[in-house]
Amino acid sequence: MRVGAHVSISGSKVSSDGSTPPYDDLRNAVHRQVAFGGNCGQIFTHSPQVWQDPDIGDEAAEGFRAETAAKLDGPWVIHSSYLVNLCTPKEGLRQKSLDSMQKEVDAASRLGIDYVNVHLGAHTGAGVEQGLDNAVSVLDDLSVPDGVTVLVESDAGSGTKLGGDFEHLAYVLRESSKDLDVCVDTAHAFAAGYDLSTAEAVDSVVAEFDDVVGLDHLQCIHLNDSKHACGTNKDEHAHIGEGHIGVEGMRRIVTHPALEEVPFVLETPTEDGRGFAWNIERVRELAAE
């Protein structure tokens, strides 16, 4: 079973003056993943709240690849910046989003990472079809290196954000000239109205996804429970089995035969004295029941 977490690359090292200034080193992500009990995972290459280029030295890149090969099964996923908006009608934001995504796919190639995950973003008044066409246009302008695939992530669907409907994902995959795939976030899908709280409901959603998008395009699942009810469009993650999706839904997701080869990446909270290690172990317990 491939299960892991979204881990930080930040850390510290001792300088010549004895201080420990913060620095980013991709190898920190491998060490954290192992400590949490994960065997695959996800990272940001930089702070997701600012426009910033990945700053990856040769030594760190080589070390990351070597440590990953030695200690993890993979895959890794790079999550794009939160500022990226593929659906925007604003030319300036479109260009910044394109530039940011180009740097992420290039970083993925350098690090031997298979996937770069991105939200479609919000059409901000342009309309659903125009927003989706805007996203297709940005993705088509990317130069994606061999061995790297862009994953379009499902969304909770609040406001003018797109991706809450499986048909949005299918449209982008169908209309784009690029070979794209999909990441489904269970909390997002649940918030968008896809019930995952019972075994029967999970089976129905998996079948619908296969019919609309195609399970062959599902390359990653962000495995998160939800603090809010189905269809509320509220995106707030809960510990595995302790939210509104609950134990029965989560158990069926992690044991569904059509999903057994798909890596699960957790973005669960760190609260109540529990973090990624607890949630990864919980996933394995549910899968073994």
Q: Return the domain boundaries, the chain.
A: 3-288
Question: Mean pLDDT over residues 140-163, rounded?
Answer: 97
Tokens 């061999």 -> residue: 146
- Give the burial string for 153-170 (b: 16+ CB within 10 Å, else e): bbbbbeeebbbbbbebbb
Residue 289 and residue 287: Cα distance in Å, rounded?
A: 6
pLDDT of 81-106, one tens digit each? 999 999 999 999 999 999 999 999 99
Structure confidence at residue 28 (pLDDT): 87
Q: What is the pTM of this model?
A: 0.94
Q: How far apart are CA 38 and CA 184, in angstroms?
A: 19
**What is the C-alpha separation between 149 and 221, in angstroms, rounded?**
15
- pLDDT of the residue at 20: 39
**Alpha-carbon distance 275 to 273, whole Å?**
7
Q: For the residues 120-127, what does the mean pLDDT come to?
A: 98
| pLDDT band at residue 24 using 50, 70 and 90 as cut-offs | low
Strand partners of residue 181: 151
Q: Cβ neighbours of residue 288 under 8 Å, at least 6 residues apart?
A: none
**3 touches 40 (CB < 8 A):** yes
Is 41 strand, coil or helix?
strand
Question: What's the average model confidence in pLDDT over 24-31?
Answer: 84
In the predicted model, what is the mean pLDDT of residues 160-164? 98
pLDDT at 232 exceeding the cut of 50: yes
pLDDT at 61 over 80: yes
Q: Is the pLDDT of residue 35 over 60?
A: yes
Q: What percent of the chain has pLDDT over 90?
A: 90
Q: Which residues pair with 115 in a beta bridge?
A: 77, 149
Please state, rounded to an integer, the average pLDDT across all residues of the chain: 94
Q: What is the mean pLDDT of residues 260-278?
A: 97
pLDDT over 60 at 19, yes or no: no
Q: What pLDDT, on a 0 to 100 scale, did the predictor assign at position 25?
A: 77
**The pLDDT of residue 178 is above 50:** yes
3-state secondary structure of 24: strand
* pLDDT on residue 196: 98
Whether residue 16 has pLDDT greater than 90: no
Nearest C-alpha neighbor of 119 from the set 104, 107, 270: 104
pLDDT above 70 for 70: yes
What's residue 211's pLDDT? 98
pLDDT higher than 80, residue 141 = yes
Map tokens 């200690």 to a residue: 71
State the pLDDT confidence band at 21, using cuts at 50, 70 and 90: very low
Query: How far is CA 29 from its chain centroid?
Result: 15
Which H helix or E strand runs over 152? strand 149-153
pLDDT on residue 22? 42
- Tokens in use for 237? 């993650």
Average pLDDT over residues 15-19: 41
Q: Which residues pair with 43 in a beta bridge?
A: 78
Where does 56-159 show beta strands of DSSP type E?
76-79, 115-119, 121-122, 149-153
Domain 3-288: give its CATH architecture: Alpha-Beta Barrel (3.20)
